Amino acid sequence: MRAVGVHEDVVVVTSRVWQTTCTLVRSGEEAFAIDSPVYPDELELLPAVAEQARFAVKGRLATHADWDHLLGGYAFPNASLGCAETTAARLTAEPGAAQRELREFDQRHYVERLRPLSISAAQALPVPGYCSVGERELELHSAEGHTADGMAVWVPWAEVLVCGDYLSPVEIPTISSGGSLDGYAATLERLGPLVERAQAVVPGHGAALSREEALDVLAQDRDYLEALRGDGPAAPLPEGRSGTAQRAIHAANAAVVGGAG
């Protein structure tokens, strides 16, 4: 796990697995943790990282309901969880799904945890909308398409965009069974103006990006989605994201898009 400050009020923690990110955002005496690292030792260290940086974590946000973004309760059990209304609805509609998927991951990789995952009742936040942290407000923007739910978080005073599973430098656009190509493309269009204003962009997987780097990933992802729409399995993958794991994601994307057609 590594921690990098991208602003005096924003620290990005990156997990050893899938480069999953957790973003700590501070305003005055209060801080939020957005998403989570994955491994137990990382979650155990996270409060110490926050304390050392003087981030008093009082709340948690999840960009969407995929299990690897919902583990913050291990680190901050007393911090309430907030998420988009679409994510709260998905958690209600899929009771126990995150816990089952986490158990499957742990069994596959021989990971031991001290206790099962507990997801307390999440506060459903209107998106688009705002969420107060300290004396400031985070902007919440719809981010659906990767899954059927989701939100991106804009930190206006830091000019940082936390965008969940979009704009990843290490992972191609991933359209899950609950997502859609049209929804994903619409989210990229929605994120574009925020990226153009950003000093840093934090994807759900991969290192934080500069504005220029994020705009390049955005252009590549738009091109990939258009090629996927037209060419299906024959669509070329973005440069630098064409390894074995990404080819498997691409095959799944093609199956989802083909099935939708």
Task: List, for residues 49-71, the tens digit of each pLDDT value.
Answer: 999 999 999 999 999 999 999 99
What's residue 121's pLDDT? Answer: 80
List own/partner pairs for 11-14 with CB under 8 A and 24 or more apart. 11/49, 11/50, 11/53, 11/55, 12/202, 12/207, 12/208, 13/37, 13/42, 13/46, 13/49, 14/206, 14/207
Confidence of residue 260 (pLDDT cuts 50, 70, 90): low
What's residue 57's pLDDT? Answer: 97
What's residue 120's pLDDT? Answer: 77
- Average pLDDT (22-41) is 97
Q: How far apart are CA 19 and CA 168, in angstroms?
A: 10
Task: List, for residues 189-228, the tens digit of each pLDDT value.
Answer: 999 999 999 999 999 999 999 999 999 999 999 999 999 9
Confidence of residue 177 (pLDDT cuts 50, 70, 90): confident
Task: List, for residues 1-17, the tens digit of each pLDDT value.
Answer: 899 999 999 999 999 99
Q: What is the number of other CB atoms lying within 10 angstroms of the CB of residue 252?
A: 14
Task: At 150, list the tokens.
Answer: 């989701």
* H or E element in which residue 130 lies: strand 129-133
Q: What is the distance, to the nearest Å, from the Cα of residue 191 to the centroid of all Cα atoms in its chain?
A: 14
CATH of the domain at 7: 3.60.15.10
Q: How far apart are CA 208 and CA 121, in angstroms?
A: 30
What's residue 28's pLDDT? Answer: 94
Q: How far apart are CA 261 and CA 257, in angstroms?
A: 6
Q: How many domains are there within the chain?
A: 1
- Average pLDDT (146-174) is 97
- Average pLDDT (155-181) is 96
Angle of helix 181-197 relative to helix 211-231, nearest 10 degrees, comes to: 160
What's residue 6's pLDDT? Answer: 96
Q: Is the pLDDT of residue 44 over 80?
A: yes
- Average pLDDT (93-100) is 94
- Average pLDDT (239-261) is 89
Q: Is the pLDDT of residue 175 over 90?
A: yes
Q: Parallel, antiparallel, or unpaired for β 136-142 and 151-155?
A: antiparallel
* Burial state string for 201-240 with b = 16 or more CB within 10 A and e = fewer than 16: bbbbbbbbbebebbbbbbebbbebbeebeeeeeebebbee
What's residue 42's pLDDT? Answer: 98
Q: How far apart are CA 144 and CA 188, in angstroms?
A: 10
Domain that holds residue 158: 2-260
What's residue 102's pLDDT? Answer: 97
178 close to 148: Cβ distance less than 8 angstroms: yes
Dihedral (CA of 100, 104, 105, 110) sign:
positive
Q: What is the mean pLDDT of the chain?
A: 95
